[in-house]
Amino acid sequence: MDAGSANTRVTATADRLKVEAQRLLLGGGALFAAYYVLFWHLGIYSAASLGIGLAMALGLAVAGVLSRRVDERSGQFVAVVVALLLGVGASLSAWYSGGSHCIGFHTLWALPLIYGLFVRDAWVGSLTIAVASLGGGLAVLLRDETEPGRIAQWVVLSVAAGVFAFVKQVFERRNLHLTIDEMEAAQARLATADRMASVGLLAAGVAHEINNPMSYVGTNVDFARTRIADLRKEDAFPVDQDLDDALADARAGCDRISGIVATLSRLSRARGGSATEVDLNRALTDVLRLSRRQVEGVAKVKFEAGDISTISGDEARLGQAFLNLLVNSAHAVELRPDGPRTIEVSTFSRGPTEVVVEVKDSGCGIPDAALPHIFEPFFTTKPPGKGTGLGLAVCAEIVREHRGQIEVQSTQGEGTVFRVVLPRPVAGSAEAASG
């Protein structure tokens, strides 16, 4: 799923919620109309109560139509209007149809609960209808000179229903907004991932374009150095150490640029190519060169290359995994306010069948509760703007593709150790393949 589809999902969810609200309000209006017509037909409600009930049903229908055309603030206003309509209307219909002795009166205390069935994400409306139904019911009870015990019982029921409905609306609103916030955050992270992919493609193109002119520059620098050396043999050119140093620096700069270009070309190679022999030490050297500006500006990096054999795999994909681990360690070190700021990278063999790439940092560490989730897509403990939640998930996927595993040890406040364990070629299989 890309950022465009995530945006579509957020919009579709909002539209779906509006459609649901409209259906609930229209359905509620139809039920109220049927309820009042039936009770009027049975002689329980007067004609005045029927008129009030039909007005309530019409109001619900109008609110349902408006719910598709309003924003959140206007939607809250519509919810309050609906609450007043139901609370006041139900109280008036009871007033004109036998008061507290009317069957419909006994539904007044439950109005906040009924309201919650038809209106969502409207805690203000829920509070409004609770107050309106409580006030209307008390007015009817006092007019009928009802005994205090029954009034107290009715008030307790009404308040309990109102509190329950209000709390339910608050939690529904919280959960709804959490869901929308999560979807919007996922959309933002996917947009970042899209930009990262685009930057990768752009880097590959730039690397290719740089390679040719850089070869001209390097060749001409070598030619100048050789020509100067030949002229000096004939005493036709004076010794100038500053010139020699400048040409040597130019040659070193050309070599460094060429190395970066070669590394970019390897790391941007398309996924899915055939497996080749990968020198993990060389791959890590390339990655350290590429990440020098981002990583070494934060922590002191030490690389200890072990005596390990080559493995079979995709060098570009493995390089991406190692780069993600290094950047993750740099962020962890950066988040630690004090203490040593180091990242140690090493390779070594573990038994006859495995090679290990270890990345150890002195960063802030990972909380125990977060450890089981760090390889889940979009999960991150970093502050906003520091990560997409995709880096370690991509690492885990790449390592699984190479039939390996990632081990993690972390102590909060002290640092983290990631070990990428990869299978090494078995000597017998290699000889069979070569034979």
Q: What is the pLDDT of residues 225-238, one digit of tens each?
A: 888 888 888 777 77
273 vs 124, which has greater pLDDT? 124
Domain count of the fold of the chain: 3
312 in Cβ contact with 339 (< 8 Å): no
Same domain, 99 and 118: yes
For 207-306, list the strands marked E by DSSP. Answer: 276-278, 300-304
Give the pLDDT score at 430.
41
Same domain, 26 and 174: yes
Model pLDDT for residues 319-331, shown as the tens digit of each residue: 888 988 998 888 8
Give the pLDDT score at 10.
47
Dist. CA 14–CA 181, nearest whole Å: 12
Model pLDDT for residues 257-268, shown as the tens digit of each residue: 776 676 666 555
Cα separations in angstroms, 205 against 43, 209, 261, 321, 337: 83, 6, 10, 21, 39
Same domain, 33 and 111: yes
> Domain end: 170, 188, 206, which one?
188
29 in Cβ contact with 57 (< 8 Å): yes
| Residue 203 pLDDT > 70 | no
Same domain, 226 and 154: no
114 vs 371, which has greater pLDDT? 371
| Residue 433 pLDDT > 80 | no
Confidence of residue 135 (pLDDT cuts 50, 70, 90): confident
Model pLDDT for residues 204-221, shown as the tens digit of each residue: 666 667 777 888 788 888
Same domain, 315 and 408: yes
Dist. CA 202–CA 197, nearest whole Å: 9
Same domain, 252 and 336: no
Give the pLDDT score at 360.
94
Confidence of residue 346 (pLDDT cuts 50, 70, 90): very high
322 vs 158, which has greater pLDDT? 322
Give the pLDDT score at 1.
45
Same domain, 170 and 203: no
As a whole number, mean pLDDT of residues 246-267 equals 75
Q: Which of 402, 414, 335, 321 is nearest to 368 (CA)?
A: 414
Same domain, 326 and 261: no
> Domain end: 139, 169, 188, which one?
188
Q: Residue 207: helix, strand or coil by DSSP?
A: helix
Model pLDDT for residues 84-116, shown as the tens digit of each residue: 777 777 777 777 777 777 766 777 777 777 776
Same domain, 224 and 344: no
Same domain, 247 and 280: no
| Residue 411 pLDDT > 70 | yes
Type of residue found at 266? R
Give the pLDDT score at 265.
63
> Domain end: 217, 245, 267, which one?
267
Confidence of residue 152 (pLDDT cuts 50, 70, 90): confident
Where is mean pLDDT largest: 158-172, 195-209, 346-360?
A: 346-360
Same domain, 126 and 22: yes
As a whole number, mean pLDDT of residues 391-401 equals 86
Same domain, 70 and 111: yes
Residue ranges making up the domain that contains 376: 276-434
Give the pLDDT score at 85.
75
CATH of the domain at 360: 3.30.565.10
Give the pLDDT score at 214.
80
